[in-house]
Structure 1
């Protein structure tokens, strides 16, 4: 059985032929796997002994994004980052696991991993590492609209709200 996955990327409609249900199962598996990864990382920052501190990351120098990160180091902005990162990881994880606002959650996950990848010294030892692989997984979830397979987004896209405002599909799926 041949299935089709229809998605819109940057205003252009794409239809992908998927062979059987294996592709759909794979997208659900990737979405759940990445969702659990981020949910676990976010919850771990709340339960692990010692408080999550963002200073070690924000105060780095010599990386591609250190000028941006350094602007948030110290004071109230650093305290805000220490709240936003774990909360963001939990929300991204829940969004992916439930398939709710999947593209939005994956976008913010990719945004975070962009800074983790380019703000880390790990890439100096090689370009391919865990942060890059996570970034690739988030982009895959965005491109394929993985929330449309066994996710709440599949239902939300059939509602009148999304029918009246089709641009909402960019946030879903």
Structure 2
């Protein structure tokens, strides 16, 4: 098996840097990352359906959290708590489903990233430093979204080929 190597350039802080990567290995890695992240969120959402109650976590969120006040308010406000109890499992499930089938991947990665920011800041478990599982989850969504992982073995490749999307190129920012 031969591996094609591609050289790319990137500008970092005003300095141009060349880097090489193997096309096929990079593609498989991005797809694997998309599928693992998708399964993680699909499973997390599915197991919360019917039994999820965020009130305890919201009200008792880590006091060191920079968003503790907001989380406590959300946990004590009936409509916000009801919205959260619906949005977390449904959002996780739909984000995971989108990543697994490769549809609306950038949109799913964006909302997955938003959830991970809330989890990261809400948990605020930084006793061993700022790098933890929530931060790595956020990073996984960033990578999946930036590399347009839905275009590789995903439905986004087919969606982008439709006349509807070709006539509306801005939709490509949601796909990929």
Query: TM-score, normalised to structure 1's length?
Result: 0.85
Larger radius of gyration: 2
CA distance in 1, matches of 2:38, 2:23: 24
Structure 1 stretches (4+) deviating beyond 4 angstroms?
A: 2-5
Q: Where does residue 85 of structure 2 map in the other structure?
A: 82
- The answer as to whether partners of 1:40 and 1:90 remain within 8 angstroms in 2 is yes
- The CA deviation at 1:144 is 0.6
State the SS of the aligned residue for 1:52.
coil
Instruction: Count the aligned residue pairs.
Output: 160
Task: Look up the SS of the partner of 2:75 in the other structure.
Answer: coil
1:9 match: none
Gaps of 5+ in 2: 9-18
State the distance in 1 between where 2:166 and 2:37 align: 29
Structure 1 residues 129 and 170: CA distance shift in structure 2, 3 A: same
Cα 1:85–1:145 shift into 2, 3 Å: same
* Shift of residue 53, structure 1, vs aligned partner: 1.3
Task: Write the distance in 2 (CA, Å) between the matches of 1:148 and 1:3.
Answer: 18
Report the alpha carbon displacement of residue 68 of structure 1 after superposing the two structures with TM: 2.5
In the other structure, the counterpart of 1:73 is 75
Structure 1 gap segments, 5+ residues each: 6-15
- Structure 1, residues 130-160: CA drift from partner, whole Å, max 9, x if none? 1000000000011111111100001111111
Q: Is the 8 A contact 1:117 1:123 kept in 2?
A: no
* Alpha-carbon distance between aligned partners in 1 of 2:7 and 2:48, rounded to the nearest angstrom: 40
The answer (yes or no) to whether the contact 1:3–1:21 under 8 Å persists in 2 is: no
Q: What RMSD over aligned residues (CA atoms) do the two structures have, in Å?
A: 2.0
